[in-house]
């Protein structure tokens, strides 16, 4: 399966209309990480979903690549105030991983190789809102940008799009992640400037 996602915006709005408050546009793609860059090879990479009951479903790299692939073009916004328009990605919609998952959870914690975590409502990664992406701008995703695969949740600040993703852990109660526990906003909506807990 290919083609553009429902989130494709085309050129119907001016760039100013697409820039959240407090942000500035950039052509660059700055590299920001909470720690060292993990070096994960595709032959050892796995991705898993673990439900609130402890049931786990896992995929190898090839099994992920055999799932329906989707192209998406979207704007991304970093909490450090830069925004990049029309970024081009390819990957698997998170919905595809949930086809056989039974859960009553309301929240999810994304966990990364290297130990990074970030939390969000489960609804924010379903219904065409998020992807596990492996390609950026036509090339395999580089390690410094989260390769071989990262979570992409473009409607939230980019720290929610966990690099080097290895698992989505489903939870009944909200479980703040790395930056959220350090004072970043628990949700992170760029349009509401939800940068810290006080916003």
Mean pLDDT, residues 113-141 taken together:
97
pLDDT of residue 34: 64
pLDDT of residue 31: 81
- Beta strand pairing call for 117-121 and 24-25: unpaired
Domain 44-192, classified CATH 3.30.465.10, yes or no: no
Q: Is the predicted pLDDT of residue 10 greater than 90, yes or no?
A: no
Q: Give the distance, in angstroms, between the CA of residue 141 and the centroid of all CA atoms in the same chain.
A: 13
Q: What is the pLDDT of residues 79-92, one digit of tens each?
A: 999 999 999 999 99
pLDDT of residue 7: 46
pTM of the model: 0.90
Q: Is the predicted pLDDT of residue 101 greater than 70, yes or no?
A: yes
Name which of 183, 130, 135 is nearest 160 in CA terms: 130
Q: What is the pLDDT of residues 144-192, one digit of tens each?
A: 999 999 999 999 999 999 999 999 999 999 999 999 999 999 999 999 9
d(CA 14, CA 36): 37
Find residue 165's DSSP bridge partners: 112
Domain boundaries, the chain: 44-192
Mean of the per-residue pLDDT values for the chain?
92
**Residues 36-52, buried b or exposed e (16+ Cβ, 10 A)?**
ebbebeeeebebebbbe
User: Strand (E) positions, the chain?
Assistant: 24-25, 46-50, 56-60, 70-77, 82-93, 107-112, 117-121, 131-136, 139-140, 150-152, 165-171
Is the model more confident about 162 or about 7? 162
The count of other CB atoms within 10 Å of the CB of residue 78 is 18
pLDDT of residue 13: 61
């Amino acid at each position: 399966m290919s083609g553009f996602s429902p989130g494709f915006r085309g050129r119907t709005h001016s760039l100013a209309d697409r820039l959240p408050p407090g942000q500035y546009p950039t052509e660059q793609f700055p590299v920001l990480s909470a720690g060292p860059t993990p070096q994960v090879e595709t032959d050892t990479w796995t991705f898993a979903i673990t439900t609130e009951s402890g049931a786990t479903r896992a995929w190898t790299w090839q099994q992920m690549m055999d799932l329906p692939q989707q192209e998406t073009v979207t704007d991304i916004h970093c909490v450090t105030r830069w925004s990049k328009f029309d970024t081009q990605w390819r990957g698997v919609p998170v919905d595809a991983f949930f086809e056989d998952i039974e859960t009553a959870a309301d929240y999810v914690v994304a966990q990364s190789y290297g130990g990074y975590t970030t939390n969000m409502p489960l609804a924010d990664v379903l219904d065409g809102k998020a992807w596990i992406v492996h390609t950026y701008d036509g090339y395999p995703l580089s390690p410094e940008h989260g390769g071989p695969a990262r979570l992409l949740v473009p409607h939230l600040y980019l720290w929610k799009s966990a690099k080097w993703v290895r698992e989505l852990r489903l939870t009944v109660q909200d479980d703040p992640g790395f930056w959220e526990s350090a004072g970043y906003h628990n949700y992170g909506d760029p349009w509401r400037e939800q940068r810290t807990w006080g916003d």
